[in-house]
Amino acid sequence: MPADYDEGTPERLLVTFLTGWQARSYGQMARCLPGIRDQHYVNRKAGDLRERYAWRPLRSFELIAVRDEALAVTVITARLVIEEGSSDQDVTRDFQLINEDAAGNATVRGKPGSWWVLYTAVA
């Protein structure tokens, strides 16, 4: 659950995205992506996410590694169990998260007025 992770961390953002996928809450997923401050973008992106993810339900996930690769970049490796037709697929994926300011520029983690966004996701 997102509440299990500290506020303002990349782990919490990724868990928010993945629990949104499990709940089929595509708006929740969209708010984790770049452009989250624009509600029109969130609505449009939620529709795109529904098309990409609705036919592949996420059964479970586990964060297995967190790597801070730069002052504003974190890569999190997660194990996902995804329903594919009549069977489940166990896959491992890397997710890149970037800490951004209001202008969409990468900025040092923890800077006031900045937040994490998810740049890579499972398709």
Confidence (pLDDT) at 123: 47
3-state DSSP call for residue 38?
coil
CATH topology of domain 2-118: Nuclear Transport Factor 2; Chain: A, (3.10.450)
If one compares 64 and 120, the residue with the highest pLDDT of the two is: 64
Tokens 């506020």 sit at which residue?
7
The half-sphere exposure of 1 on its side-chain side, counting CA atoms within 13 A, is: 2
Average pLDDT, the chain: 90
Residue 3 has pLDDT above 50, yes or no: yes
pLDDT for 120: 81
Confidence of residue 84 (pLDDT cuts 50, 70, 90): confident
- Write down the pLDDT at residue 25: 95
93, containing H or E segment: strand 87-100
Q: Range with the lowest mean pLDDT among 21-30, 32-41, 107-116?
A: 32-41
CA angle, 33 then 105 then 1, to 5°: 35
pLDDT of residue 4: 84
| Interval 35-71: pLDDT, tens | 766 677 788 888 999 999 888 999 999 999 999 999 9
